[in-house]
Chain A
Amino acid sequence: MAKMAMVINLKKCAGCGACGIACKTENNTRDRKDGQSYNWADFIFKMDGKFPDLKFATYPVLCNHCTNAACVDACPVTPKAMFKTKDGITMHNDERCIGCRSCQDACPYSVMDQREGGDYSVISFNSDEAAPFEYYRDKTELIPGCTSSGAEIAAKAGATPPMMTAYMHPEYDNVRREGIVEKCILCSHRLADCKEPYCVETCPSGARIVGDIDDPNSKVSILLKTYESEVLQPEKGTKPNVYYIRNYNMK
């Protein structure tokens, strides 16, 4: 048994965006559409003060893998499609999901439609109306006969999307089907194979650390003992397991 958590050291974080893009390459998440971002890793920014006394901070955000996960509580399916694994990961089963979006509605870190506001959304919904990766299914050519098309590239590469990272997961397809929600699973398919989540591995600043906070000797536990930490929206009572330590800026 373990309780997986992530500690993000904001002092090291440079707000560069690499984790957000790397996550899309690892987890084959599609492009933003109809107010759904499909960004399992994303960013929020804070800027306070007045020129020239400014305080800027980036907060990389992802699923908080909450101990009291509102999304899990809200899932109406039995057994639940959104559930906690024994390692504390908030997991989603894509076969049991009925696409009711109750989880998305319940999650304090998600919004139903980003066009109506909200900086980011942990949970996104794959509409029933279009197959994933329309961009790579489109058959039109910019310059007919001369440039390619999404469909042609995907066919030639042999996957949709063409850069699809092939991995297996018992709960999850590596590209999610229509009519279900999706979100960060803490790269559970990598953790099981002794690999870091891809956002952790590719963070050029080394700001992200994943580990078991029930183990007092884990690096995450040690960091949380060493530094004060904060979580996002603690008042919601979800007990998030993504912790932010140190300050992004010197102010």
Chain B
Amino acid sequence: MKLKRRDFLKATAAVSAVAMVGCGAPKNNALAPMNPKKAIGEEPGEWISTTCQGCTTWDPIQVFVQGGRAVKVRGNPNSKANCGTCCPRAHMGLQQLYDPDRVKVPMKRTNPKKGRGVDPKFVPISWDEALDMIADKLMELRNNGEAHKYMLNRGRYTYMRDIIYDAMTKIYGSPNNISHSAICAEAEKSGAFYTHGYWDYRDYDLHNSKYVLIWGLDPLVSNRQVPFTIKSFGDISDKATITVVDPKLNASAAKAHNWLPVIPGTDGALAVALAHVLLTEDLWYKPFVGDFKDSVNHFKAGQTVDADSFAGKHTHGLVEWWNIELKDKTPEWASEIVGIPAESIYKTAREMAVAAPSVCVWMGPGAAMHVRGTYTAMAIEALCGILGSIDNIGGTMMKGKTHVNKMPKLDAYKDATAKKKFKKIDQRGFLNFPAMKKGKSGSGVVTNNVADGILQKNPMEIKMGIGYMNNFPFSGTGAQRWEEALSDLEFYVHITTHASEMSQFADIVLPSAITTFEKWGYLKSKGNLHSQVSLLQPVVEPMWDVKIDETEIPYLIAEKLAARGFDNLFRYYKENFNDPETGKAPTNSKEFAEYAVKYYTAPSWDGKKSFPGDKIKGLEEFKKAGVWNDARLSYKKSWGKFKTKTHKFEFYSETLKQALGKHAKKHHVSIDKVLDVCNYEARGDKAFVPHYETPFRYGSFEEYPFTFIDHRSRLNKEGRSANTTWYQEFKKVDLGDESWDDVLKINPDDGAKLGLKNGDMVRITSTNASFVIKVKLWEGVRPGNVTKCYGQGHWAYGRVAAEDYKNAKPKGFNNNELMPADYDRISGSTARNGGFCGVKIEKV
């Protein structure tokens, strides 16, 4: 894992500037200390590789350790996806590790009453007592034939998730292993899947791109490759045109060539209007899309076209799409809906066409996590098809290969209880929740609906749950439902680093090893056209007697279950995770945690199989490097074999037609009935093409005249960093925000109408909740809309995050309590964008 000489030179080009004055000559010459008798310089230490889990970049980083203390952080120079960079989040990890408010021992609730502001009266207990209580409750359910009334709530995970999420839940005998995935993503995957058969996040060939269209995200701030984007953005803007579509000024828009401040939720109208221009002006990329048989463009606004007159190449259904949706969707039509002049739409389409196929259409959650978001996502992703930029130079790419071992088979360890079939508590696959991961009804997750499932006791009552690295009463929209649902449970166990909002409802709180610094695990991620396997390893001794959530704790629970006569899970753990180097079976939870990581990652370092990418010789080298890089992606590999029904890029999605058809058939209804129940507008063939749907909105414009826009922070570590003082101190790096505060950003024109000045307090009311909040007048938001960053509003978590932990008083308010719970039901995603939350603003 040596850096190539050329890379080394590049990485140290700047250093040489210093070297010329200080370090070419004898040491300390030019930069000699004023008193040369005294020592100068850093005390010894070691850089240890691990991975940041501050966001879904899963950035490989290194931590500098001096005398057993973690003291600073940098990007891992061995990663080809981040090129040795990390964003501000990684540095904040130090304050999370050394947070005075960390839970250091297992805690037991002694106040049976549950609710916000009700002191749980936690008392410290031993691990043994805590595990006994958990095992007793698990056995009680199993013995009563109620194993299915147990649920496992997964939060942020590493790929060691299999052990607690899959194996433990399934061998124990519950269908209810529920992931967090649909809380903040998934809808965009619908866009990629129903057009080109790819159910995942995309990668982008940024450095070869000539036009980067960033849509519904702020990649300098959040999303899946923040450090690499920060590193590249300036250079890219020198050689490519960057356009950002976002209803508010975001950090990327501030640096882009163009900003298209689309009215929230109307993204689909802009997308189909762009497509309309590309077709009517003969600007589609013919080597990919195909052409009219007579080579004459028959796409004329308002006129249908004969499907037989067009010969698609790697695409399917362009004419059908035109006839069903696009023919009337002129920029003039779109202009009023989206709030952008028609000329800007023409200009954008034409400039993209000139750059085609080297166009990145980078779609993010803001464009997809809408109540009707699947169709918006499809409309945007379809632009990659028209421009031929999918899997092409300078365009939208997919992922490479990572080589890790699979979860050992569970079947032999499942008894009769475990083999019973039940529906899941999130109601996936119900008529009104198709939640179709990869087009399969009920295979996705509807995370945020678990609260309703519990409250409705449908499809079953839930009596017990274990959650880890999650905080749904804070992170789920309609967050109040989670408080109610969790209060209802007989027994809840929260595995956490902090006494979070979710912990307040727990009967047992187990202190978790903190990710990045104290935990064994591994992650798969990508960026810069390299996929990678990245290691998490303990870089310091754990601060307290904390245990690793995904491996140690399930092992210890399994051991307790075995002592109570149910040993299937313990046997599974003991028999399948031997140390791949020595063949030894784990004898305790710590060994298990380490062996399991070795088991999974072995193909990346054991040299047994040969594949493109880094050649790592042995575990020690892998631990030192911290990351295995796949070879760089090559282009057009998917052309001709997209994983759609037709194996083509589908503008008329046969894949979605089949998926919806199967879901409808399962429920003995028509597809139109499914669409109706799921709150989509399309009927008939329109449901199978990318199209514009009117934004669904809670609250009428008359009663709730403003539209609320939720946005992301560059310092949020998925809601886990607000108890650090550095988060609060540098909150101002979020555009328009104020340090140590939570502000509602209002356009000054609206402010003037309401008689508001900076610092005034207003009451903001949605159909879901009402709060008082400080005003910040800010030009970055369109009149008629107000915006606030997600992240503040903790009423628990710790003394920095909450205004008053003891009295459950939040700092500002939590956006997820303002926004009601609803979904893009085709994907199961939580709606949090798309102008669905109407609000009224009153001066107080």
Enumerate chain A interface residues (CB-CB to B < 8 A): 1-2, 4, 9, 11-18, 20-22, 24-26, 31-32, 37, 39, 43, 45, 47, 49-52, 54, 56-58, 85-87, 91, 93, 135-136, 138, 142-143, 145-150, 152-154, 156-159, 161-171, 188-196, 198, 200-202, 204-207, 209-212, 215, 217-220, 248-250
Q: Is B19 an interface residue (CB 8 A)?
A: yes
The 8 A-B pairs with the shortest beta carbon distances in the complex, nearest first, are A170-B38, A211-B17, A12-B234, A17-B733, A194-B23, A166-B43, A204-B85, A219-B17
Q: Is B424 an interface residue (CB 8 A)?
A: no
Provide the B26-48 mask, 1 if CB < 8 A to any CB of A, else 0: 01101111111111111101000
Q: Is the CB of B21 within 8 A of A218?
A: yes
Enumerate chain B interface residues (CB-CB to A < 8 A): 13-23, 27-28, 30-43, 45, 64, 66-75, 85-88, 91-92, 94-95, 97-105, 107, 122-124, 220-221, 227, 229-231, 233-235, 237-238, 249, 251, 254-257, 259, 261, 499, 509, 543-544, 714-715, 725-726, 729-730, 732-733, 735-736, 740, 747, 749, 778-783, 798-799, 805
Quick one: which of A43, A47, A86 contacts B732, CB cutoff 8 A?
A: A43
Q: Is the CB of A14 within 8 A of B255?
A: yes
Q: Which residues of B contact A146 (CB under 8 A)?
A: 103-105, 107, 122-124, 499, 509
Q: Is the CB of B18 within 8 A of A191?
A: yes
A49–B780 alpha-carbon span in the complex (Å): 10
Instruction: Give me 5 other A-B pairs in contact (C-beta within 8 A), A51-B747, A146-B103, A164-B71 excluded.
Output: A12-B235, A15-B220, A26-B72, A146-B499, A218-B17
7 contacts between A and B (CB under 8 A): A31-B729, A51-B782, A54-B254, A146-B103, A146-B509, A147-B104, A192-B40
A163–B539 alpha-carbon span in the complex (Å): 13
Q: What number of A-B contacts does a CB cutoff of 8 Å give? A: 304
Q: Which residues of B contact A211 (CB under 8 A)?
A: 17-18, 20-21
Q: Is the CB of B100 within 8 A of A250?
A: no
Q: Which residues of A contact B221 (CB under 8 A)?
A: 16
Contact flag A149-B234 (CB < 8 Å), given A25-B72, A52-B259, A250-B255:
no
Q: Which residues of A contact B122 (CB under 8 A)?
A: 143, 146
Closest to A149 in B: B100
Q: Which residues of B contact A20 (CB under 8 A)?
A: 88, 730, 733
Quick one: which of B20, B39, B740 contacts A170, CB cutoff 8 A?
A: B39
Q: Is the CB of A169 within 8 A of B33?
A: yes
Closest to A49 in B: B779
Q: Which residues of A contact B32 (CB under 8 A)?
A: 86, 192
Closest to A32 in B: B729
Quick one: which of B33, B88, B99, B733 contacts A153, CB cutoff 8 A?
A: B99
Q: Which residues of B contact A31 (CB under 8 A)?
A: 725, 729
Q: Is the CB of B91 within 8 A of A21?
A: yes
Q: Which residues of A contact B85 (CB under 8 A)?
A: 204
Q: Is the CB of B779 within 8 A of A148?
A: no
A190–B39 alpha-carbon span in the complex (Å): 12
Contact flag A194-B22 (CB < 8 Å), given A1-B30, A204-B75:
yes
Closest to A161 in B: B98
Quick one: which of B73, B87, B124, B259 contacts A16, CB cutoff 8 A?
A: B87
A154–B97 alpha-carbon span in the complex (Å): 12
Quick one: which of B41, B231, B235, B780 contacts A51, CB cutoff 8 A?
A: B780
Q: Is the CB of A148 within 8 A of B75?
A: no
With both chains docked as a complex, state the minimum distance between the C-beta of A148 and any C-beta of chain B, in angstroms: 5
Q: Is the CB of B23 within 8 A of A212?
A: no
Q: Which residues of B contact A192 (CB under 8 A)?
A: 22, 27-28, 31-33, 40-41
